[in-house]
Amino acid sequence: MIDFTLTEEHRLVQQSVREFAAAEIEPHIREWDANHEVHLEVFRAMGELGYLGAPIPERYGGAGMDYISLAILCEELERADTAFRVIMSVHVGLNSLALLQWANEDQKQRFLVPQAQGRKLATFALTEPGSGTDAAALRTTARRDGDDYVLNGSKIWISLADVADHFLVFATVDRERRHRGITAFLLERGMPGLETGTLQGKLGIHAGNTGTLTFTDLRVPAANRVGEEGEGFLVAMSAIDQGRYTVAAGAVGLAQACLDASVRYAHERETFGQEIGRHQLVAQMLAKMDAGIQAGRLLVWKAGWLKNRGARTTRETSLAKWFATEHSVQSALDAIQVHGANGYSNEFPVERYLRNSKAAVIYEGTSQLHQLIQADYLMGYREDRPIRCEPLPAEGFDRLPPSARA
């Protein structure tokens, strides 16, 4: 039986992250966004509260939370601003959960434990200037040389590129083998031959860092290879399943922020002698926002419920990501319409919501890709095969702040 009633532990997580966002993000985010400021102290505070190791078992330094708790964290953080959900996606979803599933014990101790404890920031590097959706076409190479691999190439659109300490990077040992030649590696900032840079001119997510990586004869110990040669594509795809889940949950939060702002404004603004919320076409937009939020949240929680049982959820997370991100864009557009001319100004947050919403229908697989994925499942062209993974049972909430445990 599926029960979507939040447990007391889930509500404590929700209370904790809402209080954190209200105190540490919301009072400052307009200024940070306008000035393109990245505030690492907020990331560190998230680590101290256990958010950066939320679903990682306690034996590896995490908080042992379940996937519903992870969804709640992502939803509430993006409700404040997308930049802080992005950290959960790349640090937790794409990197740490991938290491939990694929890394050996030595790698978990060296990389996963400090990440789960919030002492090190981590990211994920797959996309290249010439390959995005077609991940098998990447051109970064890895050549075996004794006990090392030598990497050459570049990555782009990498979240936290200029601030991360650890990098899960994908390179090919044999281009002719396409996806079967891709191999995963763990890199650390400061390795000779690794350079990072920040991308300028982004449409949105101005309070978050996005950049480039360049590898020039970068020597990586073979001990830093994750999995076997040629398993990198499987590592990447299983990681992206996790990342899509966090993106979907965050998109629900962004749509909720749009609705919150719109309801508030619809009460405050009057035309023709009454609140604009009394006008049927405004009320219609509000109702559609709410319906989509509830549907998106249920899709996310269904995927989380399955994940808590160790099931592979490629189909479910794809559907949740597609629906929730598309709905967040439409919610932002409608929120600006509700606000009228004021929605076109950064005096009101809905302008930022629209700019931030657009990225999520592109990264972690475009909406068009997800439509094709869903159609392939419907037609029987695609079926899931098991991917090596470790179920994530909740192991306690010992890293929640005292105020949330009280």
Q: What is the pLDDT along the chain (406 residues), one digit of tens a residue?
A: 667 789 999 999 999 999 999 999 999 999 999 999 999 999 999 999 999 999 999 999 999 999 999 999 999 999 999 999 999 999 999 999 999 999 999 999 999 999 999 999 999 999 999 988 888 889 999 999 999 999 999 999 999 999 999 999 999 999 989 999 999 999 999 999 999 999 999 999 999 999 999 999 999 999 999 999 999 999 999 999 999 999 999 999 999 999 999 999 999 999 999 999 999 999 999 999 999 999 999 999 999 999 999 999 999 999 999 999 999 999 999 999 999 999 999 999 999 999 999 999 999 999 999 999 999 999 999 987 654 444 444 433 333 333 333 2
Residue 405 placed within a domain: no
pLDDT digits (tens, 9 = 90+) for 212-270: 999 999 999 999 999 999 999 999 999 999 999 999 999 999 999 999 999 999 999 99
153 beta partners? 215
Residues 31, 29: Cα–Cα separation, whole Å: 5
Sign of CA dihedral 202, 204, 206, 209: negative
For residue 373, which of 363, 362, 384 has the smallest C-alpha distance?
384
Q: Which CATH number belongs to the domain containing residue 255 in this structure?
A: 1.20.140.10
Q: How many domains are there within the chain?
A: 3
What confidence score (pLDDT) does residue 4 get? 75
Residue 59 placed within a domain: yes
Residues 157, 287: Cα–Cα separation, whole Å: 35
In 3-state terms, what secondary structure has residue 221? Answer: strand
What confidence score (pLDDT) does residue 136 get? 84
What confidence score (pLDDT) does residue 139 get? 95
Residues 141, 218: Cα–Cα separation, whole Å: 10
Do 226 and 134 fall within a single domain?
yes
Please give the positions annotated as active site: 364
Burial classification of residue 66, based on how many CB atoms lie within 10 Å of its CB (0-12 exposed, 13-18 middle, 19 or more buried): buried
For residue 353, which of 249, 248, 246, 255 has the smallest C-alpha distance?
255
Do 104 and 180 fall within a single domain?
no
Amino acid at the residue 293: I
Please report, in angstroms and rounded to a whole number, the separation of the first and last CA atoms in the chain: 30
CA 53 to chain centre: 14
Range of the structural domain that residue 151 is part of: 123-230
Do 98 and 168 fall within a single domain?
no
pTM above threshold 0.85: yes
Do 371 and 260 fall within a single domain?
yes
Tell me the DSSP string of 237-287.
Answer: HHHHHHHHHHHHHHHHHHHHHHHHHHHHHHHH-EETTEEGGGSHHHHHHHH
What confidence score (pLDDT) does residue 378 get? 95
Residues 98, 238: Cα–Cα separation, whole Å: 7
- Biggest alpha carbon–alpha carbon distance for the chain: 79
Do 195 and 265 fall within a single domain?
no
Do 132 and 249 fall within a single domain?
no
Do 142 and 222 fall within a single domain?
yes
Structural tokens at position 88: 């959960």
CA distances (Å), 381 to each of 240, 312, 318, 377, in order?
20, 17, 16, 6
**Would you say 221 and 209 are in contact if contact means Cβ atoms under 8 Å apart?**
no
- Is the backbone of residue 12 left (phi > 0), alpha (psi -120 to 50) or beta? alpha
Neighbours of 116 (CB within 10 A): 32
When computed from its CA atoms, the radius of gyration of the chain, rounded to whole angstroms, is: 21
Residue 388 placed within a domain: no
The phi, psi pair for 191, rounded to 5°, reads -65, 130
Percent helix, percent strand, percent coil in the chain, to nearest 5 = 55, 15, 30
Do 19 and 32 fall within a single domain?
yes
What confidence score (pLDDT) does residue 388 get? 45
The phi, psi pair for 58, rounded to 5°, reads -60, -30
Sign of CA dihedral 336, 341, 344, 349: negative
Q: Which CATH number belongs to the domain containing residue 63 in this structure?
A: 1.10.540.10
Do 308 and 221 fall within a single domain?
no
Do 82 and 65 fall within a single domain?
yes
Do 253 and 307 fall within a single domain?
yes
For residue 63, which of 6, 120, 116, 10 has the smallest C-alpha distance?
116
Q: Which residues contact 406 (CB under 8 A, 6 or more apart)?
A: none
**Crossing angle (nearest 10°) for helices 367-379 and 314-339:** 140
The phi, psi pair for 142, rounded to 5°, reads -130, 120
Do 48 and 153 fall within a single domain?
no
271 beta partners? 274
